[in-house]
Amino acid sequence: MKAIAVAGGKGGTGKTFVAVNLARLLSSRDKTLLVDADVENPSTLFALPAEVKEVKQVESFKPLIDEAKCSKCGLCVKNCPEHALVMLVDKRILYFEDLCSGCEVCKLVCPSSAVNRGLRVEGLFKYGSYGESLDVVVGELKPGIRRSGFMITRLIEEHRGLFEKYSYVVVDSPPGSGVGLLSVVKEADVVVAVSEPTPLGLNDLKKFLTLLERVEKRLKVILVVNKHGLPGGLERDLEEEASKRGLPVIAIPYSELVVKSYVERRPIVDLHPESQVSKGLVEVAKLVSS
């Protein structure tokens, strides 16, 4: 199994676009799984007409306090790391679900076994497929839930066994450079960093590449300069950044066909295989699998 993380720092540079097309190209060689880890705003299913076959609720712990058993000792309140439990003057205990991380410390410290296990929904895992050899798993955070990092962790940890069944696992990552992304790139063999030739693209790419230095194992990193040829663009600065670090660079030109393929909800490599955009994507797939 080869794991490929598609990331790059800035939002809207084309991560989903590259991930979906890369997965499609790799699936013509061997069994491929596309994982949508952009749990706050998962978009792969807008770009790929995959059929969703199963939806699973992602649940986590919440305390249910048994008033009959509770001795009002307040240990749960004192030990709650998120301050999600509060004791009022009349010793009633209030629970703030939005703050709760589900760590179960309240249950661990309760001397009267008054904390029971309740469940709450934090999001969904969706499972689908497109054609014979491409499957998709999407992690989707429920709006209003803060904890996207943990959704990503669960998406990875709870599907390790599934990943092993594929030759390629392509992970569409969230924007940024935080902990959620770190947990994705740590699992990868190859990182495809997608950027765009703007000062913002460059700035965020640098921060993202610094993140990669924190990963101890050897990673193969490929820079994709998407929207290449954007009027007034900073292609050269991006290329310099890559050459400083010895990274291969692949340019994908800015093209109307990209938006069109989104509107038609089909990978551009299927719709317009002869386009310059598709040729760039084929280059990415070659580098990834070599």
Partner 1 sequence: MEIVVASGKGGTGKTFVAANLAYYMKTSVEPVVAVDADAEAPDLLLTLGGSGEELFEKPVSASRKASIDYNKCTQCLKCLDACRFYALRVIEGKPFVIEEYCEGCNACGIVCPANCISLYVKETGIVRADVSRSGVPVVTADLDVGGRNSGELVFLAKSEAYALSRELKAKHVVVDAAAGIGCPVISSLAGAHVLITVVEPTPPSISGAKRLLEVAEKMRVKPFAVLNKFDMPSSRIDDLTEELGVEVLGKIPYHRSVVEAYVNMKPLLAYAPDGEVSKRLKEIFNYFVESVLR
**C-alpha dihedral (168, 172, 178, 183), degrees to nearest 10:** -30
Which residue, 45 or 281, has its beta carbon nearer to partner 1? Answer: 45
Contact 198, 230 (CB under 8 A): yes
Under rule CB under 8 A, residue 183 binds partner 1: yes
Q: How far is the CB of 28 from partner 1 (least distance, A)?
A: 25
Q: Distance from first CA to last CA of the chain, Å, rounded? A: 13
Q: Which residues pair with 4 in a beta bridge?
A: 170, 190
Contacts of 286 (CB under 8 A, 6+ apart): none
Which residue, 10 or 24, has its beta carbon nearer to partner 1? Answer: 10
Residue carrying the six token digits 């392509």: 170
Q: 10 Å Cβ neighbour count for 29?
A: 12
Under rule CB under 8 A, residue 111 binds partner 1: no
Q: Which two tokens stand for residue 30?
A: 């061997």
Q: Which two tokens stand for residue 226?
A: 């998407």
Q: How far is the CB of 127 from partner 1 (least distance, A)?
A: 19
Distance, in Å, from the CA atom of 246 to the CA atom of 110, rounded to the nearest integer, reads: 55
Which residue, 28 or 203, has its beta carbon nearer to partner 1? Answer: 203
Q: How far is the CB of 89 from partner 1 (least distance, A)?
A: 26
Distances, alpha carbon 49 to alpha carbons 5, 16, 135, in Å: 21, 14, 11
DSSP, collapsed to helix, strand or coil, labels residue 7 as strand
DSSP 10: S
Q: How far is the CB of 197 from partner 1 (least distance, A)?
A: 8
Q: 10 Å Cβ neighbour count for 283?
A: 16
Window 242-281: residues binding partner 1 (CB under 8 A) = 256, 259-260, 262-263, 265
Q: Going residue by residue from 117 to 136, which x/- string records binding to partner 1, judged by CB under 8 A?
A: --------------------
Q: Among 139, 174, 267, 280, which residue interacts with partner 1 (rule: CB under 8 A)? A: 174
Distance, in Å, from the CA atom of 155 to the CA atom of 137, rounded to the nearest integer, reads: 9
Window 201-220: residues binding partner 1 (CB under 8 A) = 203-204, 207-208, 210-211, 214
Under rule CB under 8 A, residue 21 binds partner 1: no
Under rule CB under 8 A, residue 148 binds partner 1: yes
DSSP 171: E
Q: Among 18, 19, 115, 234, which residue interacts with partner 1 (rule: CB under 8 A)? A: 234
Q: Among 19, 115, 141, 190, which residue interacts with partner 1 (rule: CB under 8 A)? A: 141
Q: How far is the CB of 289 from partner 1 (least distance, A)?
A: 27
Residue carrying the six token digits 């540079």: 13
Under rule CB under 8 A, residue 116 binds partner 1: no
Distance, in Å, from the CA atom of 103 to the CA atom of 130, rounded to the nearest integer, reads: 37
DSSP 122: E
Q: How far is the CB of 29 from partner 1 (least distance, A)?
A: 27
Number of residues engaging partner 1 in binding (CB under 8 A): 68
What residues line the site for partner 1 (CB under 8 A)?
A: 9-13, 16, 38-41, 43, 46-47, 60-61, 79, 81-82, 101-105, 108-109, 141, 143-150, 153-154, 157, 174-179, 181-183, 186, 198-200, 203-204, 207-208, 210-211, 214, 230-234, 256, 259-260, 262-263, 265
